[in-house]
A and B are shown apart, each in its own frame.
Chain A
Amino acid sequence: MASAKISKFWNNPGFYLSLLFFTAVLVEIVLSLDFPYRAKLFPLIVGVICLLLISLDLLGRIFPEVAVRLDKFRGGQMLDISKMESERSSGKNSTEQERLRFEYLSFLKIFLWFTGYFLLLPYIGYLFSIMIFLFLFLKFFSNCRLKTSIQITAGVALATWVIFSLILDVPWYEGLQ
């Protein structure tokens, strides 16, 4: 292991996701130590197993040789046609592909759009949030024509109002008064 090559794991966003999971599991284990015996037994067992599993994944991301060995325990590989085909056609391994596939900017944009929509909800209520978010998203993100954006927005707002408000009688969140 000592002589094993270390990958540029800091460039791989998957490493940070695994690190996030590792931290979450660690917090779970530490917190569970204070619970009564029966309440902590099962969470502790599951936590320790999860910590081992995610540690293996992290090791695999740092040491590519470990990842290759771990990849042998791939349950569905026999029928994973799409993966086999994509690897055959591109000639890249999965780690490289992951890094290439992840588009930071697009993800950040989508994150801001969807979070923005969510933040609108408590202030102006559901119906107006849908109208504003959908219209702006279609017009400026999806580059739809003005007429199409208005038509789709109106249609979706009407449909959600009919299904949730009229038929299911769900009280709408009106927003902060």
Chain B
Amino acid sequence: MVEILAAFGPALNLFLSLSTWAFFLLGFVLGMIFGAIPGLSGAIALALLIPVSWGMAPEQGMIMFAGVMGSVTFAGAIPAILLNVPGTATNVATCFDGYPLSQQGKAGIPLGAAATASGLGAIFGILWLIILLPAVRFIIMKVGPPETFVLILFGLFALSLFVRGNMIKGLFAGGLGLILSFVGFDPVTGALRYDFNTLYLYDGIRPVPVIIGVFAIAEAVALSIRGGVSISKVKNQAKSSDVVEGIKSVFRYPKTLLRSSAIGTCIGIIPGVGGTVACIVSWMAAAHASPRKANFGKGEIEGVIASEAANDAKDGGALLPTIAFGIPGSTEMAILLGAFILHGIVPGPELLSPERLPIVWCIILGLLLSNILVSTAGLLLARHLAKLTLIPGNIIAPIIVCISLIGAYTMHLSIYDALLALIFGFIGYLMTLYGFSRVTLVLGLVLGRLAERSFNQSLMLSDSGPLIFLTRPLCLIFLIILIFFILFPVVRKLTTRRG
């Protein structure tokens, strides 16, 4: 605990420098813009910023990413409330009650409530992250190669189970990511694999161009095909008195705020579940607990508070498995893992060592500040930000492609990286269209080398071959949880049929 607190000072020092603030603000503004424009998301903003972070100190890069993650979620609430179009998927439940209030001419109330609940929810999630870090640090000291391998397996399975769509396709995408990670030199024997006599493939397939491709370029393809957005003009103007009323309403429902923040944090910790599930579960819980159940979905302010508190609290929770085990709690965290690799940051014991702990604090501070700033800015600039939602998709798409390809090239000054990003852009688009998870693909690619190394090291350590994965307590616990998750849909089906 002392070591963790001691790392706060250097992080704060770094945070106070002018250049760090410039990068933080770049991330913050980009996050707000990408959050406010329907169809774009924090994942795309992060993918675009990874190449920009090249050449920065790792701490500065992480602060910039935290700026994006903190601002994108609340910004997504603005079109959700004003236009009934969630800026990001995590704001879907905000539409349920936010938009009906806007239709009643009270747009300021949900905007004020969303901004306040977002900020407070995020603070709640981050506080829990800080509290749980020492405990997690103690656990990961006991993690060896077998546990690492089982944890990666657990992460891939959990993502496949919880992300939308077919589990088989989700698992396959994860496996495909692993296969892509096998290209190049084998980490254990040094043998060259799947290089097709191409010099470029000797170093393996780099995760960053793939991430840029499957998230940013794939989205640009989708936006271009969908064409211009047909969103009606902003009808609702937020009155100042309504905004104040919205802020007050959050404090009238402290139970809803706390419950939703707790739901968001807990769901954030579960790998792959993400903010969409958090906000919907939280909204349903609030509707269930409220004496005004019937008003939910018709403009009940508690619904907005529940959704926004949960989707911002999830970031603190999602950071925990990402930092401690390298298993991302959400899509944004999967991309953050790619950024970790670019900066030579290894999640787990190394990231929680005294030398690397300032990086963790930089992310926490960045996330905290970004959330507070976005809530304040949201209250002041909501009306102007709403205009961003009127930019047609087919204008944004070519800009994304231009920046993405330059970004992919920038990393290693290789035109082949740009080509790789383009190829995976089209593959990523087709994957989304036909239900293959892009997140598990990226996770497989990012964690593939570590998984293979851990697998081989475990077998070398073991006298009983693969049985080592069943004889270590932590491995066994995760395997049991994994089996439970796999069998859960079948059991649920059977119980439903009997019921």
Within 8 A of A (CB), among B385-423: 392, 394-395, 398-399, 401-403, 405-406, 409-410, 413, 415, 418-419, 422
What is the minimal beta-carbon distance from B476 to any residue of chain A, in angstroms?
A: 20
Cα distance A1–B51 in the bound complex, in angstroms: 50
Within 8 A of B (CB), among A30-60: 31-32, 35-36, 38-39, 41-43, 46-47, 49-50, 53-54, 56-57
Residues of A within 8 A of B409 (CB): 121, 126, 173
B395, B422, B431, most chain A CB atoms within 10 A? B395
A74 & B398 in contact (Cβ 8 Å cutoff): no
Cα distance A81–B55 in the bound complex, in angstroms: 42
Residues of B within 8 A of A25 (CB): 175-176, 179
A102 & B194 in contact (Cβ 8 Å cutoff): no
B456 & A118 in contact (Cβ 8 Å cutoff): no
Residues of B within 8 A of A102 (CB): 433
Mask: chain B, 179-198; 1 = CB below 8 Å from A; 0 = not = 10010001011010110000
Residues of B within 8 A of A47 (CB): 179
B280 & A79 in contact (Cβ 8 Å cutoff): yes
Within 8 A of B (CB), among A148-177: 152, 156, 160, 163-164, 168-171, 173
Within 8 A of A (CB), among B191-217: 191, 193-194, 217
B163 & A126 in contact (Cβ 8 Å cutoff): no
Residues of B within 8 A of A94 (CB): 435
Interface of A (DSSP majority class): helix
Please name 20 further chain A to chain B contacts, defined as beta carbons within 8 Å, in addition to the given A39-B189, A54-B172, sorted by A numbering: A17-B436, A35-B191, A36-B189, A42-B182, A42-B456, A46-B178, A49-B175, A50-B172, A79-B277, A107-B429, A114-B425, A121-B409, A126-B409, A133-B401, A133-B402, A156-B402, A160-B403, A160-B406, A164-B410, A170-B410
| B297 contacts the other chain (CB 8 A) | no
B179 & A39 in contact (Cβ 8 Å cutoff): no
Residues of A within 8 A of B357 (CB): none
Cα distance A28–B407 in the bound complex, in angstroms: 29
| A76 contacts the other chain (CB 8 A) | yes
| B92 contacts the other chain (CB 8 A) | yes
A50 & B175 in contact (Cβ 8 Å cutoff): yes
Size of interface on B: residues with Cβ below 8 Å to A: 73
A38 & B188 in contact (Cβ 8 Å cutoff): yes
Please give me the residue from chain B that is nearest to A72 by CB atom: B493
- Can you report 29 A-B residue pairs in the complex whose CB atoms are below 8 A from each other? A14-B435, A24-B176, A25-B179, A28-B194, A39-B188, A39-B189, A42-B455, A46-B178, A46-B179, A49-B175, A50-B179, A70-B168, A72-B489, A75-B485, A80-B165, A102-B433, A103-B225, A114-B401, A117-B405, A118-B405, A126-B409, A133-B398, A134-B402, A137-B398, A142-B398, A160-B402, A164-B52, A168-B54, A170-B413
Given contacts A21-B172, A114-B221, contact A76 B164 (CB under 8 A): yes
| A106 contacts the other chain (CB 8 A) | yes
Residues of A within 8 A of B429 (CB): 107
| A10 contacts the other chain (CB 8 A) | no
B398 & A134 in contact (Cβ 8 Å cutoff): yes
A-B contact count, CB below 8 Å?
196
A42, A74, A101, most chain B CB atoms within 10 A? A42
| B376 contacts the other chain (CB 8 A) | no
B394 & A141 in contact (Cβ 8 Å cutoff): yes
Contact of A76 among B165, B395, B452 (CB under 8 A): B165
A73 & B281 in contact (Cβ 8 Å cutoff): no
Given contacts A35-B191, A75-B160, A110-B221, contact A164 B399 (CB under 8 A): no
A152 & B399 in contact (Cβ 8 Å cutoff): yes
| B169 contacts the other chain (CB 8 A) | yes
Cα distance A14–B431 in the bound complex, in angstroms: 9
| A90 contacts the other chain (CB 8 A) | no
B413 & A171 in contact (Cβ 8 Å cutoff): yes
What is the minimal beta-carbon distance from B229 to any residue of chain A, in angstroms?
A: 12
Mask: chain A, 1-37; 1 = CB below 8 Å from B; 0 = not = 0000000000001100110010011001001100110
Residues of B within 8 A of A87 (CB): none
A79 & B456 in contact (Cβ 8 Å cutoff): no
Mask: chain A, 106-137; 1 = CB below 8 Å from B; 0 = not = 11001101110110011000100010011001
